[in-house]
Chain A
Amino acid sequence: MTESSWRMPRWFHQMGSPKWFYGFAGILQPWFAIAALGLLTWGAVWGLAFAPADYQQGNSFRIMYVHVPAAILSQSIFLGMAVAGAVGLVWKMKVAFMVARSCIAIGATFTAIALVTGAIWGKPTWGAYWVWDARLTSTLVLFFLYAGIMALNQAISERHIAGKATAILAIVGTINIPIIKYSVEWWNTLHQSSSFTLTAKPSMPADMYLPLLLTVLGSYCLFALVVLMRTRSQIVQSQSGASWLMQHRDITGA
C-alpha cells in the first residue's frame, strides 16, 4: 500500500502522535471514569432492585445485566484490538500498537466475567453450572484466544515486536471468530445439549431492557477508560527522555 493511496483526515494522523494522544486521552480520561461509574451504578441498582422479575426465570434473570455487557464487550474488544492492530500495521503507527496491547487484559477480564456469570446463571436455569451451550462454548474459545495473545505478549520482551505480534494474532483471530461461532453453533444443534438459551427473549418490556442498555454503555466507558490509562502509561514508558514529556505538567508538577 503506497503512502498516498489513501488520504486520511488530519485528526487521524494526530492520533498517531504520542504527544497528541497523551494530551487528548488525558482530557477524556476523567469523563470516561465518571460516565463508567455513573452508568454502571445506575444500571446495576435498577437491574437489581427495580426491574421486574422474569416470568420464566424469576430473579436469576437479573444476572443478565452483568452477563450480557461482559459478553458483548468480550467480542467488541477483540474486534477493537484487531482494528487498532491493523491501523498500526498499515500506517506504521506506534500508538495504535499500544492501544491494541492495552485491550488484552481488559478483554480477557470481560470474557472471564461472561464465562463465570454464564455458568452461575446456568445453575438455577439448567440445573448445572456448565452446559455445552453454543454461546458458552464459543466464549470459552474466545477466552483461549485472549489467553494465547496474553502468553505471547509475556514471552516477547521487546515492546514493538510484541505489539506487531499482537496485531497479527488479533487480526487472524478476528477473521476466525465468525467461523468458530458458526461451527460451534452447528455442532451444538447436532448434539442438542440444551434447547433453552439464556438470553433468547423475543421481546422485553422497557423496564427490563433499559438497565441493560445502561450497563452495556457503562461497560464501554470503563473499557475506554482502562485502554486510555494503559496506553498513556505505555507512551510515558516509551517516550522517556522526549522533551515534550519532560516539560509536561504530569512530570514537572507535584
Chain B
Amino acid sequence: MYFESLEALLNMAGHGPYVWSCYGLFFALLGINVWHAKRQQLKALKQVKAFVRRNS
C-alpha cells in the first residue's frame, strides 16, 4: 500500500474529502443507474406475467 496507515489513507494529506467524495459519487450514481435498470426490467416482466395470467 502507498499509505502507511488507514488514517493516512482516509486523510490523504488533506485531499481526502475531495478524493473520497468523488469516488462515493461515482459509485453511488452508477449504482443507482444499475438499480433503476434492474427495477425497470422486473417491472416489465411483472406486467407481462400479469397479462399472461389474465389471458389464460
Interface core residue of B32, B41, B49 (most chain A CB under 10 Å): B41
Question: A27 on the interface (CB 8 Å rule)?
Answer: no
A123 nearest CB neighbor, chain B only = B18
Main secondary structure of the interface of A (DSSP, over half): helix
Total A-B pairs, Cβ < 8 A: 111
Chain B CB within 8 A of A200 CB: no
Distance of A220 Cα from B12 Cα, bound (Å) = 28
| Cα of A127 to Cα of B19 in the assembled complex, Å | 15
Say whether A48 faces chain B, with CB atoms less than 8 Å apart: yes
The DSSP consensus for interface residues of chain B is: helix
Interface residues on B, range: 35 or more
Residues of B contacting A222 in the complex (Cβ-Cβ under 8 angstroms)? 30, 33-34
Are B26 and A113 closer than 8 Å at their CB atoms?
A: yes
Cβ of B18 and Cβ of A106 under 8 Å apart? Answer: no
Contact A233 B43 (CB under 8 A): yes
Other-chain contact of A63, B3, B14, B19, B38 (Cβ < 8 Å): B19
Q: How far is the CA of A66 from the CA of B26 in the complex (A)?
A: 7
Decide: A236 and B44 in contact? CB cutoff 8 A.
yes
The residue that A109 contacts in the complex, of B2, B14, B30, with Cβ under 8 A, is: B30
Q: Which of B1-31 contact A (CB under 8 A)?
A: 1-3, 9, 12-16, 18-19, 21-23, 25-27, 29-30
On whether A59 and B13 interact (CB within 8 A), knowing A109-B33, A233-B41, the answer reads yes
